[in-house]
Amino acid sequence: MHDQIEEVLISQQEIQEKVKQLGSQLKDDYRDKNPLIICVLKGALIFVSDLIRAMDCPLSLDFMAVSSYGSSTKSSGVVQILKDLETGIEGRHVIIAEDIVDTGLTLNYLRNNLLSRDPASLAICSLLDKPSRRQVKIKPDYCGFVIPDKFVVGYGLDFDQQFRNLPYIGILKPEAYI
């Protein structure tokens, strides 16, 4: 598995430090708001697990599964909700926790869908941001790392359901997905 990684882009230690910083910032911003953290499955699971432990304030957690990739490396632009929330969000302070903002198509759809449910506020927290690929105007309110236009895996991010368990963010060798 590691031999299919061209380069470690963000080390395990760098990720841990950044997630602690994001958690601390979110804790300060939402201390008395009991936010609902929405983990976007499957990619954000590891990030969210570490993030909520770093927040140290009252919060709730729910999950959504959306898809626009399938087994491809490019978004199809057609978004499907595979698993919806179990929690109502009307009047709640909501934070969408995402692994990566790439084209923005999926996240824009998800944001608009959740805004239609009348939350008190809605913010986006993403571990990674790849603005060079953006197709819609959307930007995370909280961001860990801005990365170049490379296909990355690890720390929850996958290619065809593989590599999620890497403890770092790595650039996948092109021969692994072409």
Joined tokens for residue 16: 């841990």
pLDDT for position 43: 94
In a domain, 75, yes or no: yes
pLDDT for position 1: 79
Phi and psi (nearest 5°) for 151?
-85, 115
Active site (catalytic) residues: 102
In a domain, 101, yes or no: yes
In a domain, 37, yes or no: yes
In a domain, 176, yes or no: no
CB 150, CB 15: distance < 8 Å: no
Of residues 111, 85, 84, 101, the one with CA closest to residue 146 = 101
In a domain, 5, yes or no: no
In a domain, 6, yes or no: no
CATH label of the domain that carries residue 109: 3.40.50.2020
- Other Cβ atoms within 10 Å of 3 Cβ, number: 6
In a domain, 158, yes or no: no
Alpha carbons 172 and 117: distance in angstroms, whole number: 38
In a domain, 19, yes or no: yes
pLDDT for position 26: 98
pLDDT for position 54: 97
Percent of the chain with pLDDT over 70: 95
Q: What is the pLDDT along the chain (178 residues), one digit of tens a residue?
A: 789 999 999 999 999 999 999 999 999 999 999 999 999 999 999 999 999 999 999 999 999 999 875 555 555 567 889 999 999 999 999 999 999 999 999 999 999 999 999 999 999 999 999 999 999 999 999 999 999 999 999 999 999 999 999 999 999 998 888 7
Number of domains in the chain: 1
Residue 104 is part of which domain span? 12-150
Joined tokens for residue 2: 């590691």
